[in-house]
Structure 1
Amino acid sequence: MKEMILEKIRQNPEAFMPYHQYIELALYHPKGGYYMREQTKIGREGDFYTTPAMAPVFGKFLGKWLCRSLKKAGLPPVICELGGGGGQMAFNVLKGFAEEDKEFSRGLVYYVIEASPYHQKSIKHLTSHDSRVQILSALEYLPSIEGIIFSNEFFDAFPVDVAVKQDGEWKEAGITFAGDELKETVRDISDVASRQLIQEWDVPSYMNRIEVPLQMMEAYETIIEKLRRGYLLTIDYGMDRDEWFSPIRKEGTLRAYRNHQLLESILDAPGEADITFTVPFGLLRGRGAQMGCREEFWGGQAEFLIEGGILEELIPHADSDPFSQASKHNRQIRQLIMGESISDYFRVLWQSKNIR
């Protein structure tokens, strides 16, 4: 991937590649992109952990909760999962949905948006080629629906541009080369949408570097447009405006992980590392309100799970064996809601559209 990226930069008269293009290639190139490669990415053998992989009870509970939410609002059993990954979430959501209402589950239509052929095969394998599961390679292929569109760690994988401050003015950071090495450079911001977003954002003066998530916002707007009536559930590693614009994050949040280790630069090992950023939920909340969505919940993942009734999923048992199924099940729930858990890093945004 590095050689291909270098060649593309050399072919550019400006010898400049915007960050969003670099990230797009590093993560999604059909042959060398990180997410497109046939390799384990999640868990001990991969580069990062996800809640569905660490705690299957999470997806199962979510399936029950989504089922109840659809029935309460009088919505048809239609769900769309954004970014299906290896299929662990779909497998557990389907299981929980059926446990909540077997009859309602029979009519379920479960769309999964997943671009990676490798992950598509994994989803098909885990869901046993369930005819209710329809895998789509891109959001554009999703029909207009009534139901629920949800995501877990979807928006943090979008390519972003990067703006840096020089002499009090915002400039666009990008990639150039020195010999056979990639390095960062800057130029004036030429993209009107980027300049407009930075201006509307009213970025605090102490910030030196920020991500400009134009592709994320375009996808979010498309998602809202695809939802005729129903709910939008967004779970991700992110923060609201004040927390995102904290002085401790004045150099931005863009980062890369390989073998569970934070790399010194996202220019290291393109195609071999996961690149991510902290989702600015303030933008999503604001744009959702502008597009007619009503905010039903905003807060931490643990709070969301408790309010949703996950404690009712605890299994009463007198078994002292820590390796029994009941013990493992209850331990997963405790790990999801107690202090210093994976839930501490995730926020939940639950929005409704045309629900009265």
Structure 2
Amino acid sequence: MTILTKLKSEIVDSKDHAITYERFMEISLYDEEHGYYSSNHKKTGKAGDFYTSPGVHEVFSRVMARVFTSAIIADDLHPVIVEMGAGEGDFILSNLEEIQRYDKSFFEKLTYYVVESSPYHRKIIENKTKDYESVHIYPSLEELKRHIGVFQGIIFSNELLDAFPVRVIEEKQGELFEVMVGLTPSEELTEVYKLCTDHAILDWIESYGYQINKGQRIEVPLHMTNWFENVANWMEKGRIYTIDYGYTDEEWCHPARRTGSLRGYYKHQLIQNPLENPGRMDLTTHISLDALRRIGEDHQFKWIECEFQGRFLVNNGLLDFVQNHNEQNPFSPAHKINRAVNWLSQMNQFQVIVQRK
């Protein structure tokens, strides 16, 4: 059964002959057999569909290593880091190497947990970290929770929340409709509208949402909310570092956001129609920054910082990695790291969010 066949089967068998965008994304991205993240092909870098900061240069991971070490010592936390949604593990090795270089005694006490749902990615990470006894890999947060119980330490994610499935809502003539996925008479995937009566969505909008303008489409991240609540109830003390792209309530209300933010990335091209290429392209949304803050505050997390990634990295020592050299070869390691420092220092697409309990 192909992923398209599976989607069509669920649509036909559903009560309304339509499934939510949340379900469409769950199948397209996370289906164990055919989902995008489960498939055995490279997602990041030149040969993939998008770039991530850890894949640009290891200096990103090295700066974050110092951030984590300093935070754990300052807050008197257990020397434990959990990386959620580690992908192909680009972040891990240079992060561990820098922690060892920066504070060897701390490194010797450190435990580094990886939570990654993709078997393909877990295998890559296992091969990369086979020489590190401190690294332990789990397929889900639930599996990790069963292993270590109540948690103290650091939780880190890079471009994780933007890949969580979402419900899609649109205002039409004063009423809210859920945008769902159905089929045309010729069995092509298409959007269909259903009057929104789901209390989970309506309650979320009332508690964490913002003013929805006439004709505006928004994404309701119930999955992200449940994930944060799960983490919050598990964490006794610590910090959550989230790196992702998102908008504030004020930015969501701008006319440019009228059609929402759900998009696809395929071979480094932005795809406006999320129904194209199911299972073969990444799907992503901008997160609601103010909603994330409010959800955290409801679970005793203090909003410490929300800063553009470039400024955050500079504030935390990125420029310490600039190399003074007389190299003439533009492809030398020194030139490469200086180009990476320059690029990362100007990266304002992402925010670094720090929440503390």
Shorter-chain TM-score: what band? over 0.9
1:58 aligns with 2:60: yes
Q: Distance in 1 between matches of 2:7 and 2:216?
A: 26
The corresponding residue for 2:188 is 181
Aligned-pair CA distance for 1:329: 1.3
Amino acid at match of 1:174: M
Equivalent position to 1:345, from 338, 343, 349: 349
Given that 2:49 and 2:265 are in contact with CA atoms closer than 8 Å, whether structure 1 keeps it comes out as: yes
Is the contact made by 2:171 and 2:214 (CA closer than 8 Å) also made in structure 1?
Answer: no
Deviation of 1:167 after TM superposition, in Å, equals 1.5
C-alpha displacement of 1:195: 0.9
Distance (whole Å) between structure 2 residues aligned to residue 85 and residue 293 of structure 1:
26
Distance 1:310 1:114 in 2: 28
Counterpart Cα distance in 2 of 1:226 and 1:13: 36
- Please tell me whether residue 234 in structure 1 is matched to residue 242 in structure 2: yes
- 5 Å-filtered alignment, 1:145-224, equals 145-178=151-184, 179-200=186-207, 201-206=209-214, 208-224=216-232
Q: Return the alpha-carbon distance in structure 1 between the equivalents of residues 336 and 81 of structure 2.
A: 28
- Give the superposition deviation at 1:246: 1.8
- TM-score (norm: length of structure 2): 0.94
In 2: Cα distance, 1:191 partner to 1:317 partner: 61
User: Which residue of the partner structure matches residue 80 of structure 2?
Assistant: 78
Which residue identity is paired with 2:4? K
For residues 167 and 157 of structure 1, the distance between their equivalents in structure 2, rounded to whole angstroms, comes to: 30
Query: What does 1:1-356 correspond to in 2, within 5 Å?
Result: 1-128=3-130, 130-143=132-145, 144-178=150-184, 179-200=186-207, 201-206=209-214, 208-338=216-346, 343-353=347-357
3-state SS of 2:348 partner: helix
**Counterpart of 1:236 in structure 2: which amino acid?**
D
**Partner SS state of residue 48, structure 2:** coil
2:356 aligned partner, one-letter code: S
The residue matched to 2:353 in structure 1 has which SS? strand
* Higher mean C-alpha deviation, range 59-68 or range 154-163: 59-68
SS at match of 1:36: coil
What's the CA shift for 1:102?
1.6
Q: Is the 8 A contact 1:16 1:174 kept in 2?
A: yes
Q: Which amino acid aligns with 2:191?
A: E
Give the Cα separation in 2 of the matches to 1:43 and 1:139.
Answer: 27
Q: Which runs of 5+ in 1 are unaligned?
A: none
For residue 129 of structure 1, report the CA deviation from its aligned partner.
5.0
What CA deviation, in whole Å up to 9, does each residue of 1:114-137 have, x standing for no partner? 000000001111112522111111
Larger mean CA deviation between 234-243 and 137-146 belongs to 137-146
**Structure 2 contact 83–113 (Cα < 8 Å) conserved:** yes
Query: Does the 8 A contact of 2:80 with 2:153 survive in 1?
Result: yes
Contact 2:110 2:134 in 1 (8 A): yes
Q: Once structures 1 and 2 are overlaid, which stretch shifts more, 106-115 or 26-35?
A: 106-115
8 Å CA contact 2:174–2:214 kept in 1: the answer is: no
RMSD: 1.4
Moved more, 316-325 or 303-312: 316-325
For residues 13 and 146 of structure 1, the distance between their equivalents in structure 2, rounded to whole angstroms, comes to 44
Deviations 1:246-286 (A, max 9, x none): 21011100001111112241111100010000111111111
1:204/1:16 CA distance change after superposition, 3 Å: closer
- Give the whole-Å Cα distance in 2 for the aligned partners of 1:13 and 1:293: 40
CA deviation map 1:135-180 (0-9, x unaligned): 1111222332111111110100000000011211111110111122
Maintained 8 Å contact 2:171/2:213: no
* 2-structure distance, mates of 1:106, 1:207: 56
Question: CA shift at 1:207, angstroms?
Answer: 5.2
Deviation at 1:350, TM superposition (A): 0.9
2:263 and 2:273 in contact (8 A); partners too: yes
Deviations 1:176-214 (A, max 9, x none): 111221111011223211011223423242451000100
Q: Which amino acid aligns with 1:149?
A: I
Contact 2:173 2:214 in 1 (8 A): no
Q: Does the Cα contact within 8 Å between 2:171 and 2:212 map onto a contact in 1?
A: no
Q: 1:72 Cα deviation (Å)?
A: 2.2
Partners of 1:139 and 1:216 in 2: how far apart? 13
- Alignment size in residue pairs: 349
Contact map agreement 1:163 1:171 (CA 8 A) in 2: yes
Matched letter for residue 181 of structure 1? E
- Cα deviation, 1:272-314, whole Å, max 9, x if unaligned, reads 0100001111111111122211222111111111111211222
Per the alignment, in what secondary structure is the counterpart of residue 35 of structure 1?
A: coil
User: SS at 1:170's partner residue?
Assistant: strand
